[in-house]
Every structure is written in structure tokens, then in C-alpha cells.
Structure 1
Amino acid sequence: MQTLPNPTQTQSPSSPAIATTIERRKTRPVPVGNITIGGGHPVVVQSMINEDTLDIEGSVAAIRRLHEIGCEIVRVTVPSLAHAKALSEIKQKLKDTYQPVPLVADVHHNGMKIALEVAKHVDKVRINPGLYVFEKPKADRTEYTEAEFAEIGDKIRQTLEPLVISLRDQGKAMRIGVNHGSLAERMLFTYGDTPEGMVESALEFIQICESLDFYNIVISLKASRVPVMLAAYRLMVRRMDELGMSYPLHLGVTEAGDGEYGRIKSTAGIATLLADGIGDTIRVSLTESPEKEIPVCYSILQALGLRKTMVEYVACPSCGRTLFNLEEVLHKVREATNHLTGLDIAVMGCIVNGPGEMADADYGYVGRQPGYISLYRGKEEIKKVPEDQGVEELINLIKADGRWVDP
């Protein structure tokens, strides 16, 4: 007769503990200005300004707006040599009028001269292997011979080497940022439009960097389709493990769109990998103002327990037992406390769900009986108060514990 497991027993005394926290993949630390990516440091939040880099005042203001709301590294585009030179003024103006902000420059399309110039002024240079040495497609091509493949590889090395040496000698960083939609033609012919092609494209550039004793490298393999993005990053981790590499990874779903779906799509890709311990820095790419990306990044990190940057609200979905307007009360509690950090606050509709399901919260606001609520500190009921005094008394309790700060 088969013995069924006891549903109340979560593990036997001899079984290993089941982890309830994420164990992150060990990666090498890569400094980017005053921020470090990887090496056990907190997952870093990034975004990118929309302003033309030639607009010095506008770019400085945009970078500052992002940095003030928690964006730790800001990316700018440098499509020309003039844009690259403008970064010198932007960097200096930030230092003079605000504070130094870690900056990344995006370089595309045969960008060696641009990259060498901008490397003087920023903390990290992002290159796209599919575009850095642009291969003009041939309409009648049916294959790449080994000789042709090697010839282009040599050309890549020639154009990449001066940039690598410059970054290496300055102690700066590079992001090798592969995009699924812009793989080089020879990679498409050799590997197809696949995660394998993305990974091999990145490895080709990594190996050139390593041959020049340069290791301040961050890797990204972005795609607009979440399954492709997931497959590419997982394959990259496997290949790096095989090759003894431990470079940090920048996660993102490129061209995720806007609104609710854009946020869900980004979260589906980024959070899935973070939950597996993969990822050291993230960007949520929305077709909205860059400032809208930062709250989504922090929400993802907070939900996974990777960073604590705001209040965590625990609230039941409401049911027939709920003794007050839960949605309205949660809104009031949030409005009063959302400037705090590092607290868990529960708002529960009834005593059935209350104490048990909010056991991990620092403070609880629980429907006790019609017109009254109970306030909890952890699992301990502190007082019962009229509902119309609930939020005020919750604030008083937080203040009494010395955990309140004024907005």
C-alpha cells in the first residue's frame, strides 16, 4: 500500500532545506563609474535618455531626472563624432551642477572613431557586434566560406582592438550588447536567426577582449520575443560555464512596447532569469518616457527579494468576509506610507485571513468587527481602534517604533 505524504510536513528532517531566497550566479565585478555590476553587488538599474546628445542642456537635465529617481547607470546614444565629443561637456556639466553619474555610450555602424572618442568621456561603451563592423548583405549569397568568415573576423579584431586597449588602459568597461534583430549576416548564414547565433556573436567579441587582457565586460543578449531572450541568456550562461567565464549579464526584453503589456512582457523575461540567479543589471525598455521604466525595475527586484527600495504591501483580494472597503483603505495606507523604505505593511479584510497570512509583515491593519480594525506589530495585536482612525493610528504605531520618517 502506497503511503501518501503528510500535507502538513514540508520537509523531512533528513531532506535538504528548500531555499526561499534567490542564489545569484557568481560573476566577476565590473566597475562603471562609482557603481559595480556583478561580483555579488545589488542588481543595478539602468535606463536611456531620449534626448539628442548634441543638446547639452537637455541631456544633462534628462540624465539628472533619471538619476534622481534611482536610475544608477544612464545610457546615451552617439551616432556621430560630434555626439561623442558632446559627452565631454555633458559629463563636466553634471559634475559642476549636480554630481557625477555613470554614463554608457551606445556606438553603432562602423563606429571605431566614434567609440575611441567617446571612450575618453564615459564610463562604459556599449557596442553591438552585429553592427560594429557592418557587413553589406549580398543578395545572391548562399553561404560564407571559412576564408570569408575568418577574413571578417580579422577585420573585427582590427577595428575592436584600439577600443579595447583604450578602455583597458583607462580602467573602463564595455558592454557587448547582442540584439536578436541585428545579427551580422555571416552569423545568420552560419547559425540561423537563433540564440546560438547570438551567443556565438558575443563570444567572438569576448575572446578578442580576453586576448588583449581586458575583462571589464558586461554581456547582453536582448530579443523582443521573451522565449528567444530566455533561451539566449541561458545558453550564454552554459557556454560561459564551459569556457570558465563569469561575466555579468545585463537583462532586458528589447522593444517591449508600452502600457500594461509592455510591463508584463519585460517582467516575464527579466524576472524569470533573475529567479534562476541569472542577471546583474536590468533595463525595462518601454515606449514611454524613460522615467516610467525605473519603478518597474524596482518593483521586479523588490518582488523577488533582490532589493528593498520601498514599502512592501500585503493585501488580500477581498471577499464576502471583508469588513471594510479594502481597495479604498489600501489606497489610504499606501498614500500615507509609500515614502518609507524597508517596511512590510499588510492590509487584511478580516480576522480569518489577517494574522496568519500577514505573519511576515512588520505592521498589520486588519478588519476586526464592523466599524473597528486591529493594528498589529508582527504577529502581536497592539490595539483595536475605530476604522476612521485606523490610518492615523497605524502611523502613530510606526512613529512609536522609531521607524517613521517625514515625507
Structure 2
Amino acid sequence: MQTLPKPASSSTDLSAVDTMIRRRKTRSVPVGSIFIGSDHPVVVQSMINEDTHDIEGATAAIRRLHELGCEIVRVTVPSLGHAKAVAQIKQRLRDTYLDVPLVADVHHNGMKIALEVAKHVDKVRINPGLYVFEKPQESRTDYSDQEFAAIADQIRATLEPLVISLRDQGKSMRIGVNHGSLAERMLFTYGDTPEGMVESALEFIRICESLDFHNLVISMKASRVPVMLAAYRLMAQRMDDLGMDYPLHLGVTEAGDGEYGRIKSTAGIGTLLAAGIGDTIRVSLTEAPEKEIPVCYSILQALGLRKTMVEYVACPSCGRTLFNLEEVLHEVREATKHLVGLDIAVMGCIVNGPGEMADADYGYVGKTPGFISLYRGRDEIKKVPEAQGVAELINLIKADDRWVDPE
């Protein structure tokens, strides 16, 4: 008879393995009433589609997003006229709703636009590849040191007034690098790579630091998840090596729509958050912006980074299931979905039920045909007829004084 080898002994106490996500330490950066950084919850952002010339439409769109839980809202500002319109939007929000934290998106040769809109918003986002636009030359084969330095000087001269304005107002800047819009000299020097993205951000960070401005948030977005992951990881590593502690804004740009857009965003954002990288997120879907917010919160909830909804634990059903699991889960969810903070398990049979739902606050288990066993944590409290299961679950929650009536 063959004897199986014993597992190798280990000094590691597996019961003490840390299951919490430990976020990379970052500074606190203010955006209106919200702070981004590792001492604060991961912040949810989105962006309206409305033209900011449409004061009422843009104001309504911002309010819709904020009421759904979007904590910071971005607006695009393509011209000086749009920048001035943002002042009216901001005031309209204060007068009719709340002073929602706003970010202005400024792109091509945007110094005058950025300086104007910086008076009216809480943060300005610039793209290093477009802020000082470098017109590509088809005949170019490289950049000389003198050419590289001349453009660097032009960038500094263009960026400095904005930095000083934001610094003196106590406002913030996002240095938002996009893989698809790297400056030509970065492409010549580093190629179309994460290294080029990181160096592009660092060039702008160093200018800001030389002007004693540190309210910075950095993003390294790409439409391909592997590129996005590599860029953010490298950025975090380089900042750690340089003693920088700026928060990171995570996102997969142009993720598309539907199920795949959500999966793609989750693969990129969730992977980094699980590694402790990231302080604010935006899921970019080719859908109404309101559709982005539930995805953000689902990612954060799944990772245990924010508690914004009831956590439901439910088995996938099998031949042992003693009731219509999908139907019952729907009934339980509809009755309890407003009880944010609770974990509720719905399990089809006794085989795995009590063990798999051990971390839940309450359990609804098909233990014998026609009856439901209700649990509080690991303890079975009572067995009730299946037809009374949901009502009795509610009564149990009420008995523990953890019930609130839905709005």
C-alpha cells in the first residue's frame, strides 16, 4: 500500500493570512469637498456627454450622475466660450442643488482655456500629449537634444501659469496620459510603450514640483488592458523609487459597451485595485454615463473596498436544490436590497449552505423539502414553511433591530 507524503511543514499560520487589500500609500488631494488618496475611500467618477454651452442640460446631467453616487463629475471644455459657460453651470448647481466637485477636461493648446476654467472648477485635467501639440513631421527620423529641450521649455512656459493658478487657489490637476495620444518626441524616444507614457507624466510632474505644486492625480489610460496594467504598475514603481506619493486615477479608456465593456473595465481596474494600486476610478462605457456608476460600485464592493449595497451570497443551483433558487434570490433581493451593509446568503441545500455562507449576516437555506431554515451567522434560528420564508427572514432582521423601511 502506497503512503501519500505528508504536506511540507510551514511556519506560516494560514489562519493569519491577511485577506484585506492594502492600498499603496498616497497623499490626499482635494477636489472640492472630496479627497482622493489612500486615507479616503476609492472615489467614483464619470463624465457628462452634454455640451457645456447647454447650461441647463449640463447642470441636469451632472445632478443625475451625482444623485446616483458619482462623487466627481468631469466636463469637456474645448473652447474659451465653454470655459466661461462652466462658471454658470457651477453657480447653477450651487443655487439649485449642491456644489458638486467638477473637473474640466482641456486638450489641444489649451493654456488660455485652462486658465479661464481653473477659476470655476475644482480640478483641471490635461493630457501631456496634447496640451502643447507637436505637429508630426513625416520626414523626421529623430529628435536632437536641442529640439527636445526646446519643446520641454515650451511646455514649461505653457504649463507654469496654470500650475500657479491652481496652486494659489488650492485646487488640483490630473495629469492624464493616454496611450493613444503620446507626443511625437516621446514616441521617437521610447516608442509606443508604457515607458513613454510614464516619462510623459513624469516630465509634467517635475514641472509642477519645481513650482511647489503637489495637488496632482495621475492616470495612465489605454484601450488595451495589458498596456493599461503595465503602464500603471510601472508608474507606481517609478513614483515609489522617486519618493512620489501621488494618487492614481484608474480607467480603461474606450472600453466599449455592453457585457464586454464591463468585463474589460473590471479586468483592468479590478486587477490594479486588488494589488493596492488606485485611488479613484472611472468606467468608460459607450453608453449613458449613468450606466457607469453601478459598475464602479460593483467593482469596489466585490473587492471589499466600499460597501454600497447588500452583498448577496448565492449558490449556482444543482440537482440538490430544494426550491427555485433564481426566483427566491430575486424575491429576497427585492425585499432587502435597501439594507446597505448587510450580507445575506440564499443557498439551495444543506450540503454546502452553512459552510459557504459562514460570513453572511443572515442565511436562507433549503434544508428539507417544503421548508426553509433561517440562519443568523452560523446559527440556525428557525425552520419555516417555504411560502413564509421571505417574510420570516424580514421578521428576523427586524427582531435584531437591523431593519429599515425602504424609501
Question: TM bucket by the smaller chain?
Answer: over 0.9
- State the alpha-carbon separation in 2 of the partners of residues 39 and 278 from structure 1: 9
1:212 paired to 2:195: no
Runs of 5+ unmatched residues, structure 1:
none
Shift of 1:40: 1.4
Aligned residue identity for 1:164: V
**Structure 1 residue 5 corresponds to structure 2 residue 7:** yes
What is the match of residue 154 of structure 2?
A: 155
Normalising by structure 2, we get a TM-score of 0.97
Which residue type is aligned with residue 4 of structure 1?
Answer: K
Offset, 1:43: 0.2
Give yes or no for the alignment of 1:125 onto 2:127.
no
SS at match of 1:352: coil
Shift, 1:39, TM fit:
3.8
Q: One-letter code of the match for 1:351?
A: I
Worse-superposed segment, 153-162 or 12-21 = 12-21
SS at match of 1:264: helix
- Give % identity: 84
Q: Counterpart in 1 of 2:225?
A: 226
1:265 aligns with: 264
What amino acid is the match of 1:51? Answer: E
User: 1:160 and 1:280 mapped to 2: Cα distance?
Assistant: 25
Q: How does 1:4-153 map to 2 (within 5 A)?
A: 4-5=6-7, 12=11, 17-153=16-152
What is the match of residue 332 of structure 2?
333
| Deviation digits for residues 346-403 of structure 1 (CA, Å, limit 9, x no counterpart) | 0000011111110000000000111110111101111111111111111111111111
Provide, for residues 45-91 of structure 1, a one-character-per-residue CA deviation record: whole Å limited to 9, x for no partner: 00000000010000110000000010000000000001000111111
Q: Matched residue pairs, number?
A: 404
Q: Within 2, Cα distance between the matches of 1:131 and 1:175?
A: 14
Deviation sequence 1:221-245 (CA, Å, 0-9, x none): 0000000000000000111011110
Secondary structure of the 1:218 match is: strand
8 A Cα contact 1:177 1:219, kept in partner: yes
Residue equivalent to 1:242: 241
CA distance in 2, matches of 1:178, 1:358: 43
On the 8 A contact 1:314/1:344 being kept in 2, the answer is yes
In the alignment, which residue of structure 1 is the partner of 2:303?
304
The one-letter amino acid paired with 1:353 is: N
CA contact (8 A) 2:23 2:38 kept: no
CA drift of 1:2 comes to 9.4
1:30/1:39 contact within 8 Å kept: no
Deviation per CA, 1:76-121: give whole Å up to 9, x if none.
0000001000111111110110011000000000000000000000
Compared CA separation, residues 196 and 324, structure 1 to 2 (3 A) = same
Which residue of the partner structure matches residue 360 of structure 2? 361
Q: Does the 8 Å contact 2:24/2:38 carry over to 1?
A: no
- Alpha-carbon offset, residue 3 of structure 1: 4.8
Alignment of 1:280-319 (within 5 A): 280-319=279-318
CA distance in 2, matches of 1:299, 1:243: 33
TM-score by length of 1: 0.97
